[in-house]
Amino acid sequence: MTSDPLLALRPWETPEVTSWGRLPMNAVDRRSGAHSLDGDWRFQLLPAPDAPVGGAWSSSYVPGVWTMQSIPGTDDLPQYTNVRMPFAEFPPRSPAANPTGVYERTVDVPAEWAGRRIVLQVGAAESVLLVHVDGRPVGVSKDSHLAAEFDLSGVVRPGARATVRLTVVKWSDTSHIEDQDQWWHGGISRSVLLYATDPLHLADVTVRAGRDGELRVDCRVRDAGGALPAGWYVSGELDGHLLTQDGEFDRANAEDERVSAFLGEARLRATVPEVRTWNAETPELYGLTVRLHRRDGTVTDTSYHRIGFRDVEISGRDLLVNGERVYIRGVNRHDFHPLTGRTVSHDDLRADLVLLKRFGFNAIRTAHYPNDPALYDLADELGFYVVDEADIESHDHAHEIADDPRYLNAFVDRVSRMVLRDKNHPSVIIWSLGNESDYGANHDAAAGWTRRHDPTRPIQYEGAAKLDWAATDDASDIACPMYAPIEDCVAHALSGRQTRPLIQCEYSHAMGNSNGTLAEHWAAIESTPGLQGGFIWEFWDHGILQRVSDGRPAGRAGAGLYEGGVAAPGHRWAYGGDFGETIHDGAFIADGVVFPDRTPKPALYEHREIAAPVRLECFRHEGVVIGNHQHFRGLDWLSADWELALADGGTLTAPAELPDLRPGETAAVPVPFTLPPDGGEAWLTLRVTTARDEPWAPRGTVVCLPQVRLRAPAPASSTAAEDRGVEVDGDGLLVHPLLITAPTLSLWRAPTDNDELGHMALRWRSWGLDRLVRKVVDVRRAHGRVTVLAEYAAEVGVVRHVQVLTPVEGGLRVEESAELPDGLDDVARVGSVFETVAGLDLMEWYGQGPWESYPDRAFGAPVGHHRVPVDTLFTPYLRPQESGGRHGVRHFTLSAPDATGLTVTLDEPRQVSVTRHRAEDLTAVGHHDELVPRAGCVVHIDAAHRGLGTASCGPDTSPSHLVAPGVHRWSWTLRVL
């Protein structure tokens, strides 16, 4: 039996023990005057929590997880699982092999802290924290994503040196309720502080500020000696204006006031005239200072808060902010960094939110735990609606744990501590009880505590609401399903049974080349009362920068070894299985709208246009109709320019004057250009930018690019053939000086993650589409034209492919048809593929762009003239797959630096891709460091291309974006520059 009372508790296997010696959570600001203990700590990694400490010490940086630091003698590396636990033990057991980090350092306690209350704050440690000072036990905490505070007043001496030891046990009973879709780590992931207060101190501050300007500040006061001294009082200022102290009920009632003082409670009130309300569009904040005084007026404690006046309520089936029904354009976000794992800096957090703001997001779900405290300050400042989620996910053992009374304390503890910490942030509009943990009595207990403590915000929990979206008697005020087909959501909203808002907590899974049908999803939301949006899964690709040489994380030394989503030579983005672990879930961790270095994926541009605050509604005789699609703001913060893209005439520009529109209003403005009479296609774009510096964007930052077509293309005219013939080889393949492989039929693409996990790729392989063999049936020559009939044998029938090669003025026209048998009822693409000679390094095109787009993800790619180096057309999704496509291409040119090259004109807007990789190149490897680019260009011209969908976790693409059997026809003209 150990003599250490903390080890005797065995907290890593006792779920009833959630803490020991830990102070209650509160919302008092303690950053001012605190001493940071961040930096290098002495470190040992033990094989188990009860193993003896001994031997040599190494060093570990705090905050930081040991799994991301190359610490001598440590071999515990990151491990990724989604649903499965990384060990076999059932709850509440943890494995005997249990990495345990021992952190130790000396601390000089300031002499001026004599007579004060001294507190240690550990920002976060996963999963069990044991604290000792000078060998004496201080306390235990079990919650990997919230701070733990311990009173050290009785164990340290001001003016002396103390040794602080923090022991972090990686696996525990709480690991079973931290089974989140992310990397498993171990260590101290947030900052460690030491601070001091007067014995008479603010124990908590609760702020309630409504859109009517009414402010109420409830203060809880405690004294380290126990009994409160007589005559204490609180005062407050709001932007320099004094607040009035009130009694608990009625200041005129002396008895109530005495009772309140005895209980250590006080209330401040104020009414702010002409209050500036807070919302995500105009996040107006006020500075609130709360002071605690002794009878003689001496200030013993102070807490500063930036507060916002706003209301959140549910009215019928609408979620209202300040009385307005708002769309929730959200994303799920983890605390993540490719070099430091779970540890993120204030600058990292600001960069995350700035990027999200620039791409039209207004909401964050803190998946699946309370995030770093700085995120909430930034969300208040920059303007985001936050769904604050408790650190509860028991995915692998959800049903057993939801009603297990051994975990009751943990559920209520984690939810209540989150609420107590974050309740004063105006950005937090909804509390979430956790994620993917079934539904049971433990949730109801946590919901009951939350509703009692904070009736000003609704609660959501997908596990409760999924049983019946229309229920009214569960622990969720919002129907918040995951990956529900939009057709089901619309049907529910139209059913007459809907009782509460429907806001998907997860939708549009962003794994690899994904986020198909996002525009269709939002078109349904915006046209269907009762639907209010959702949260894309997710923000990050959680790739860890890995040294290929030794397979270990690059760590903090890896800064600068990546750019544009691509890791530097000798490094790669690691995903599940890359650290030698046998239990893992592969690349499923790479499912964000940004790459690990925060480079935007093309899907972000799609979202930006869907969320555009300004839209071109339509074009009619009196002009273009402009609409303001914001909830609270006018257009005065924006400026704009017109751009007119002509199919054959380049781009014209003109300044634009935005009309004065309130939210929801529209107005028609005249078109600033006279269209040329040639009858060609014309597209009008409004380039909308910030008119002044915003906290999240400098002046001139693009906000959106709404577009409307002014004129359709004119019918294509035929071109007379020349006398010279077309050269083909003995297999009927085109011979051309700029092509190293001739155009052949392609029905296959390097499977996307959606294709693989949605099992489409399995079906395509079973049909043999990845290994089709071309057989020439007939080659005919007549009048300089060559007609080639070929067949491709699939497992379910034969595909007949016809090419008609005709010389035309300056080049060659290729007319093609492919007849797919009924058995090929859903292929990846139907089109031509060929390869060019080396040296054609620049692509220019007229069509949608400039970023990647696909048939079901093309809303955010405006039609225009685009010019991009070929090497940048490819999108480096973490697992190589189909990428680099451009939708709606009318014509394109590939050229060398000397302006030689080729140009292709298409019969109608087509899906085109130009990269350095064949489909088989991409399919053969698991990481980009294994790819060898080809010297020439691999060109695909598709008559039809399957949509992307989100089937890796969610609905597939819509039926309109599937490639059906039957006859497909397309044509294109190839000319030499």
- pLDDT for 730-761, tens place per residue? 999 999 999 999 999 999 999 999 999 999 99
* pLDDT over 50 at 265, yes or no: yes
Answer for the pair 602, 883: CB distance below 8 angstroms, yes or no: no
For residue 482, the 8-state DSSP code is B
Give the pLDDT mean for 37-59: 95
Q: For 314-334, what is the mean pLDDT?
A: 98
User: Residue 816's Cα: distance from chain center in Å?
Assistant: 42
Does the pLDDT of residue 722 top 60, yes or no? no
Segment 894-923 shows an average pLDDT of: 97
**Residue 369 confidence (pLDDT) above 90:** yes
Read off the pLDDT of residues 512-535 as tens digits, 9 standing for 90 and up.
999 999 999 999 999 999 999 999
Per-residue pLDDT, averaged over 947-968, amounts to 97
* Strand, helix or coil for residue 465: helix
- Of 1-5, 499-503, 621-625, give the lowest mean pLDDT range: 1-5
DSSP assignment string, 1-61: --S-HHHHH-GGG-TT--EESBPPP------TTPEE--EEEEEEEESSTTSPP-S--EEEE
Per-residue pLDDT at 249: 27
Q: How confident is the model at residue 248 (pLDDT cuts 50, 70, 90)?
A: very low
What is the predicted pLDDT for the residue at 256?
A: 52
Determine the residue type at 78.
Answer: P
Looking at the chain, the whole-number percentage of residues with pLDDT higher than 70 is 97
Confidence of residue 622 (pLDDT cuts 50, 70, 90): confident
Six-digit token pair at 767?
């049909």
Query: Rounded mean pLDDT of the chain?
Result: 95
pLDDT of 719 over the 60 cut:
no
pLDDT of residue 254 exceeding 50, the answer is no
* 472: number of Cβ within 10 Å: 9
Query: What is the bridge-based pairing of β-strands 682-690 and 638-646?
Result: antiparallel
pLDDT digits (tens, 9 = 90+) for 452-462: 999 999 999 99
pLDDT band (50, 70, 90) for residue 316: very high
Strands 428-432 and 459-460: parallel
Annotated catalytic, 393? no
For the cut 60, the answer to whether the pLDDT of residue 166 exceeds it is yes
* pLDDT value for 714: 80
In DSSP terms, 652 is beta-bridged to: 644
Between CA 664 and CA 582 the distance in angstroms is 54
Q: What's the confidence (pLDDT) of residue 247?
A: 37
DSSP letter at 674? P
Give the mean model confidence (pLDDT) for residues 506-515.
Answer: 98
170-181 residue pLDDT tens: 999 999 999 999
Could you report the per-residue pLDDT of 866-904, keeping only the tens digit for each? 999 999 999 999 999 999 999 999 999 999 999 999 999
pLDDT value of position 257: 56
**In the numeric block, which tokens belong to residue 123?**
């920002």
pLDDT at 252: 32
pLDDT digits (tens, 9 = 90+) for 50-64: 999 988 999 999 999
In this structure, the number of other CB atoms found within 10 A of the CB of residue 532 comes to 22
Structure tokens at 364: 């964050």
Residues near 768 by Cβ (< 8 Å), separated by ≥ 6?
Answer: 793, 794, 795
The residue-averaged pLDDT of 749-774 equals 97
**Quick one: average pLDDT of 276-282?**
98
Decide if 101 contacts 76 (C-beta within 8 A): no
* Cα–Cα–Cα angle for 482, 483, 489, rounded to 5 degrees: 90
Let me know if 436 is a catalytic residue.
Answer: yes
Using alpha carbons only, give the angle 847, 932, 831 rounded to the nearest 5 degrees.
40
Q: Which of 436, 609, 816, 835 is catalytic?
A: 436
Query: Is residue 789 predicted with pLDDT exceeding 50?
Result: yes
972 residue type, one letter: W
| Confidence category of residue 255, pLDDT binned at 50, 70, 90 | very low
560-581 per-position pLDDT tens digit: 999 999 999 999 999 999 999 9
Residue in 13, 389, 462, 506 annotated catalytic: 506
Asked if residue 310 has pLDDT above 70, the reply is yes
Q: In terms of Cα–Cα distance, which of 261, 355, 436, 888 is closest to 599?
A: 355
The proportion of the chain whose per-residue pLDDT surpasses 90, expressed as a percent, equals 93
Burial state string for 174-204 with b = 16 or more CB within 10 A and e = fewer than 16 = bbbbbbbbbbbbbbbbbbbbbbbbbbbbbbb
φ, ψ of residue 608 to 5 degrees: the values are -60, -40
